Each structure stands twice: as structure tokens, then as C-alpha cells.
Chain A
Amino acid sequence: MSQRVVDFSSRAWNNRQMKMMWFHLMPYPNLPDDFNEKHRSVWVDIDPALFEREVMAETYDTYIDQLVYAEDCGFDGICVNEHHNNGYGLMPSPNLIAAILANRTSQAAITVLGNSVALYNPPIRVAEEFAMLDLFSRGRLIAGFPVGTAMDTTHSYSINPGTLRPRYYEGIELIMKAWQATEPFAFNGRFNQQRHVNPVPRPWQKPHPPVWIPGGGSIETWDFCAANDFVYGALTYYGYKMVRETVSGYWNRVEAHGRDDNPHRLAVTQFIGVADTDAEAYKLYREPAEYFFNRSLHVYPGFTDAPGYVTEASVRARYKSQVRQVARIKQAKHDLTWDEMVDNGYVVIGSPDTVREQLEEAAKELRIGHLCAMLQFGNMSDELTRFNTNLFGEKVAPALKTLFSEYDDPWWPQNAR
């Protein structure tokens, strides 16, 4: 493994453009064909015997190499995330992966989306590890703070659902204060009491790394982002068409808080498959998409919520929103056909022109300043992943990057490309 040497002192990137991020879920690629019949859930109580250590070790190597390759293909950022007891997300500790990436890359934003703050005791641990990553990367870290799913937080880590969100908010408050404090201080919160808060090291970026909040559509998270001037990350597996309602709700709250409509306030995930022709893409990406949607997302419905995980306001919105009810029913079926995935925009596939047209339309309509492209999904082979990544970087990304050039991006790391 070679260390790249870069003169960071002279770097001055033009950040006035739509950013292309390469987002990896790191799925286990060998779930058996009869997984859905023999196992009730890919998450929380998945059978540990399904995971072969040799496959796991090789998979980590391959996936890390793919993230590094994404930088070579011109992606502005590379993204990792946190899941627990999970068969489609093999990163219980994204910071370990990010540490490797910080060392093996030199330009891409190291985007950790993120650390579920309430799971860390004390949460100052997140401040310390993110500061280390920011130093390793010389100021390329994006610090993501998700609440975390019910599967990860309440069911796998047994955090009390009724206090998860106040713990989360308090943890972020502590981290932000610790990063910016010029001297040690005492912290006495509802859940955290720490006599000497003084994390060493502090981050490279001043006053702190950009903060992004990945979310699934809760009203409180929209308000939290808008109030604190954080980026909102609409992390969806169901594509830009299904996330319209969520994004619209977010932008309404941004406006209500008196913020501007800078597209860089938003990041959206999207599965994408590019090939030389539409027909070839339709053929190439069917299997990995079906693997992901019909096997990796086989989550027992009892784990998708826990009493208190959703706030009262969001519960009311849930029961009043027919649109969301329909969406949930559709998502719960787990028997999606490939045509449904394509027609509904869960996966954007096609030739470079076809993909670019759809993504440009989505970016303009939803005002997506940061596109988190998921170019590896399901059991996609390394060869196809690299083909997809290279083609996107070469023939799709350049056109998209011209969007939103009139907007500065203050939520971009100081030393990322």
C-alpha cells in the first residue's frame, strides 16, 4: 500500500458544483438463494452461520479497493456508513474503514454517514475518532451524525427508544462544543456527565468538519438540520422518485427556518447502473438489483420500529399520510420485479445519456447538491462495479458537475477536491 504525498497548503478547489459521491453499503454477497424462505430477517437476528470468514475478509479488501478506485474515477467523495447485526451492511465501525481510506486516498472527501451518536458511551469518543480521521486526511472529513435505524439502535444495541433522540441531540451538542472549545470544560447533560471534556486531538478543519445528518424522513430531523445549518442526507433505497415527498418536506422546513435554497444543503442516495446501451444496462444490473431488493432488504417488520423510536409528531404524520402508507405497503412486499425497480426509479439504469438525463432531471427537481451514487449493490461483481464506476465517472458525472455552479458549498471539506 503506497502513501500518496500531496501538498495541501496550495490546494484551492472550486467547490461550486454538484458533487458526485460514491456510497458503499458493503453488502454480504453470498446470502443463499433460499434466504427469504429459511430466515426471517437480514437484520438484527440474522443467522451468524451465514457469514463465512474467508468471504468476509476478501469482501472487505474488495470493497475498500472499490472506494479507492472511485477517487481515481474522479468522484468528489467516498462514503461509508454504520450498521449493526446486518447482512447488507458490513460496517459496524465505519471509522475503521474511513481510516484506511484516509490513508489510501488524497483528494476525495472522506464521508462517514455516519456515527450514530447515541450508541457511543460517552459520545465524546465520536469527537475523538472523527478528529483523528480529519487529521489523517488533512481536512477531508465529512462528519455524519445519523440517529440510526430502529434495527441498529433499539434492537441491536438496546438503546431505549424513548430516549434515543434526546441522547442523540445531546451527544451532538457535546461533540460540537468539544471540537470548538479552546480549553477543557465540564459537561452536565441529561444523559452525559463528563468532568473534563478535552478531546485530543481536535479536528484539522476549523471550526469543525462539515456536518451532515443522514435521515429517513422524520420531521424533527428536517428541523434539526435547518435550525443548525447542517446538510440533510435523504438516504433512501427507493430512489429519487420515492424520496420526493421527504425532500419536499425538508425544503419546506428549510424555508420555514429562513434559510436559503442552496442545493448543497441536500444529499440524496441513488442506485445507478450505467452501460454502453440501455439494453445492456437492463441485462447487466438485473441480478444485483434483485439480490438487493428481494434478499438484502428482507427485514422482519417487527424490527422496523420500536415504541418511542418515532416521535409523536411523526407518528401522527404517518397515520395521516396516505402516500406514505402506500409506499410502506409496496416496500413491505419484498417481491419486486426488475421492471418495477426500474420504472419506479429505485435503480436508474441505462446508457450514459439515459442515466444523465434522469439524474439531471432529479437533481434540478429535488435540488440535489450532493448525489450519493450507489454503483455497487447486492451481489454485484467487482468487475461490474468497476465498469459501472468508471463509465459513470467518465461519461455521466462531468455533465452533472456543471449544475449549481452559481452556489457556493460551505458544507464541503476544506481540503477535498
Chain B
Amino acid sequence: MSKRLVYLFGIAGHPELSPAMRAVEAAGWEIIVPSVPGFDGLPGFEPRDEYLDWLTTFWDSIDATGATPCPVVGASVGGMIAAELAALRPEIVTGVAVMAPFGIADGDDPGFNIYGTPAAERMGHLFAKGVPDAFANRFAHLGAEEAPVASYLSDVASANILWPLGDRGTRKRLHRITAPRLTLWGDLDEVNPVCNADAWGGAQVVAGAGHLLEWDAPNQVATALLAFLNSLA
């Protein structure tokens, strides 16, 4: 089995590989990151009408890489999409690792409303240990006037997938996942509380990590991911 995986990034887009994923890469894994419309902040993005349209968009982006069948690692929004992929197209997913995936809103705690807070404050709620420079400056290269527009458009994409900021019905499809699965969750996740992990059949809880745990706890996450990925081989 070749050491190649598809990585689906999270709610704040993909400025660069996280420290955890760089560690996976350093261990010999080729990481394929599909280009998904909207998250790049480029002008002209059109929000999708419904969830099925987003699944189709991701399917097209993943298929365009030619990387599957292979393991799929997904974080946050990407975790939800990875689970949907494993449930609905099991023939192309040999293993699925999800980190704080959205898709199931269980219990009484809806989590922190990331889109009901001023844009400038949102990033701070995704991390437990401060906002990494990669995210703080994610569109700075576009200049002072264009950067906030790109940032807004990137948020449009993730909000368009997640709205109405509740359950997306993923639970109804979990039973279709036949590939081996790893679920990781930060115990300090504000926007997608760790209580939601129960509906996923439990998770390895990473202490001291927020929603984008691969940035907050790179060593623990990389260790868990590599153990899982290597077990697939």
C-alpha cells in the first residue's frame, strides 16, 4: 500500500499544512490536499444551494486529484465531509480519521456560535493556545484592502456548509462507514464541544486542545494519526 492520503482541511481554510500533518508528511506520507472553491478567498465564489451540492463539490475536488482509493484525514468541516465520503463512497476510502468533525449536534450544548461573533474575534475561538501566524495572516499577501475581502469570502464558504449551525444528519449515515475509523477531539473545543463525540462512538480526547487540535497539540495528534495510518498498511 502506497503511503498517500487525502487531507480535508477545517473551518478556517488551509493556509499551510499544520505541524501535525507536517509530522505525518515527514514520516513518509504523501499528503494530497484538494482545492475546494471558496476557501481560497478568491473572487467570484458562489455559495452552494444545499448540502448535497457541497458534497458534490468536494467529490469533484477529490476525484480531480486522482489520489483515491486511500485513507482520508479530515478536520472540522473536513472531518464531516470525510465521514460522508466514507459512508457514501466506501470504495474509495480505505480508512478515515476525523478530528472534531461537524455534522452531529448532540445534547444540550450547541457550542460557541463562531458566526455570531465579530469577524475579527472568530479565530481566537478555534484554538486553545493562541492563533497561529498562518491563520492570523492567512490572506495578508493580498494586501490591506483585499485581505479582509478574501477572509470574508473564505468564511462564506464554511458558513454556507455548516448553516444552520446545527445537526447535518451525518449520524444517519455513520452505520455505512465500513473503513477503519479514528476520531480525535480537543477537550477545549469551543465551537464543536467534545460532548458531541459520544454520537460518533467516542473519541480519543486530546487534552489542552481546541477545535483545530492539530495546531494546538501537534505531537499528540501526529502520534495518533501515524499509529492509525500505519495500522492500515
Minimum CB–CB distance for B156 against chain A, Å = 4
Q: How far is the CA of A144 from the CA of B117 in the complex (A)?
A: 30
Q: Decide: B152 and A158 in contact? CB cutoff 8 A.
A: no
- Whether B220 is near chain A, meaning CB under 8 Å from some CB there, is no
Q: Is B47 a contact partner of A308 (Cβ separation < 8 A)? A: yes
Q: A329 CB to closest chain B CB, in angstroms?
A: 13
B163 touches A160 (CB 8 A): yes
With an 8 A cutoff between CB atoms, is A55 at the interface? no
The answer to whether the Cβ of B158 comes within 8 Å of any Cβ in the partner chain is: yes
B interface residues with partner A (beta carbon < 8 Å): 43-45, 47-49, 113, 115-119, 121, 145, 148-149, 152-153, 155-156, 158-160, 163-166
Which residues from B are CB-within-8-Å of A161?
156, 159-160, 163
Question: Which of B44, B159, B165, B166 makes the CB contact (< 8 A) with A162?
Answer: B159
Q: Which of A44, A155, A163 contacts B49 (CB 8 A)?
A: A163
CA A190 to CA B145, docked complex, whole Å: 34
Q: Does A302 contact B (CB under 8 A)?
A: yes
Q: B148's contact among A155, A303, A319, by CB below 8 Å, is which?
A: A319
- How many Å from the CB of A299 to the closest CB on chain B? 12
CA of A302 to CA of B155 in the docked complex: distance in angstroms? Answer: 14
Q: For B48, give the chain A residue with the smallest CB separation.
A: A162
Starting from the known contacts A166-B49, A306-B115, A307-B159, 18 additional A-B residue pairs (CB-CB under 8 Å) come to: A160-B47, A160-B163, A160-B164, A161-B163, A162-B159, A190-B49, A300-B116, A302-B113, A302-B117, A303-B116, A307-B152, A307-B156, A307-B158, A307-B160, A308-B156, A308-B160, A312-B153, A316-B149
Q: Is A327 an interface residue (CB 8 A)?
A: no
CB of A375 to closest CB in B, whole Å: 34
**A306 contacts B159, CB within 8 Å?**
yes
Q: Which residues of A contact B121 (CB under 8 A)?
A: 302
Is A315 located at the chain interface by the 8 A CB criterion? yes
Provide the bound-state CA to CA distance between A158 and B164, in Å: 5
Whether, in the assembled complex, A258 has its beta carbon less than 8 Å from a beta carbon of chain B, the answer is no
Give CA–CA (A154, B155) in the complex, Å.
Answer: 14
Total inter-chain residue pairs, C-beta < 8 Å: 70
Q: Summarize A's interface: helix, strand, loop or mixed.
A: loop
CB distance from A62 to the nearest CB of B (A): 33
Q: Can you give 8 A-B contacts (C-beta < 8 A)?
A: A160-B47, A166-B49, A302-B116, A305-B119, A307-B119, A307-B158, A315-B153, A320-B145
Q: A116–B23 Cα gap in the complex (Å)?
A: 50
Contact B149 A312 (CB under 8 A): yes
Shortest distance from the beta carbon of A198 to any chain B beta carbon, whole Å: 26
Question: Nearest chain B CB to A35's CB is how many angstroms away?
Answer: 19
* Nearest chain A CB to B166 CB, angstrom units: 8
A319 touches B163 (CB 8 A): no
| Contacts of A155-182 to chain B: CB distance below 8 A | 155, 158-163, 166
- Out of A155, A316, A320, name the residue touching B116 (CB < 8 Å): A155
Asked if B119 contacts A163 (CB within 8 A), the reply is: no
Chain B residues whose C-beta falls within 8 Å of the C-beta of A307 in the assembled complex? 115, 119, 152, 155-156, 158-160
In the complex, chain B residues whose CB is within 8 Å of the CB of A310: 152
Nearest to B45 among chain A residues (CB) is A312
Q: A348-375 toward B: CB 8 Å interface, digit per residue (1/0)? A: 0000000000000000000000000000
Q: A147 to B113, alpha carbons, bound, how many Å?
A: 23
A161 to B160, CA, bound (A): 7
